[in-house]
Amino acid sequence: MERPLTQHITFPPLELRQYEAIGGYQAVRKAVRHMQPKDVTALVKESNMKGRGGAGFSTGMKWSFVPMDVPGPKYLVANADEMEPGTFKDRWLLEGNPHQLLEGMIVAAYAIQATEAFVFLRWAYKDAAIAIRKAIAEAYDAGYLGKDILGTGYSLEMHLHTGVGRYMCGEETALLNSLEGKRATPRAKPPFPQVSGLFGKPTIVNNVETLSFIPHIINKGADWFKSLSRTADGGTKIYGVSGRVRKPGAWELPMGITMRELIEEYAGGMKEGYGFRGVLPGGASTDFLIDKHMDITLDFAGVAAAGSRLGTGTMVVLDDQTCPVGFVHNLEHFFAQESCGFCTPCREGLPWTEKLLWAIEQGRGQEEDLELLLRHTEWLGPGNTFCALAPGAMEPLQSALKYFRDDFERHIREHRCPYHDPVPAVPASAHLHHTHHL
Q: What is the mean predicted confidence (pLDDT) over 360-376? A: 96
Report the Cα–Cα distance between both ends of the chain, in Å, rounded: 33
Report the alpha-carbon distance of residue 202 to residue 192 in Å, rounded.
9
Q: Does domain 236-319 have CATH number 3.10.20.600?
A: yes
Digit-coded pLDDT (tens) for 59-100: 999 999 999 998 899 999 999 999 988 889 999 999 999 999
Digit-coded pLDDT (tens) for 313-343: 999 999 999 999 999 999 999 999 999 999 9
Digit-coded pLDDT (tens) for 201-237: 999 999 999 999 999 999 999 999 999 999 989 999 9
Q: What is the CATH number of domain 324-433?
A: 1.20.1440.230
Digit-coded pLDDT (tens) for 231-252: 989 999 999 999 999 999 999 9
Q: At what angle do helices 26-34 and 98-112 cross, to 10 degrees?
A: 10
- Per-residue model confidence (pLDDT) at position 421: 62
Residue 437 pLDDT greater than 60, yes or no = no
Q: What is the CATH number of domain 4-227?
A: 3.40.50.11540
**Residue ranges of the domains in the chain?**
4-227, 236-319, 324-433
192 burial class (0-12, 13-18, 19+ CB within 10 angstroms)?
Answer: middle
Q: What is the mean predicted confidence (pLDDT) over 364-372? A: 96
Mean pLDDT of the chain: 92
* DSSP codes of every residue in 264-323: IIIS-SBPTT--EEEEEBTBTTS--B-GGGTTSBSSHHHHHHTTS--TTSEEEEEETTS-
Digit-coded pLDDT (tens) for 129-165: 999 999 999 999 999 999 999 999 999 999 999 998 8
Report the alpha-carbon distance of residue 346 to residue 387 in Å, rounded.
9
Contacts of 373 (CB under 8 A, 6+ apart): 353, 356, 357, 397, 401
Report the alpha-carbon distance of residue 31 to residue 382 in Å, rounded.
40
- Per-residue model confidence (pLDDT) at position 86: 87
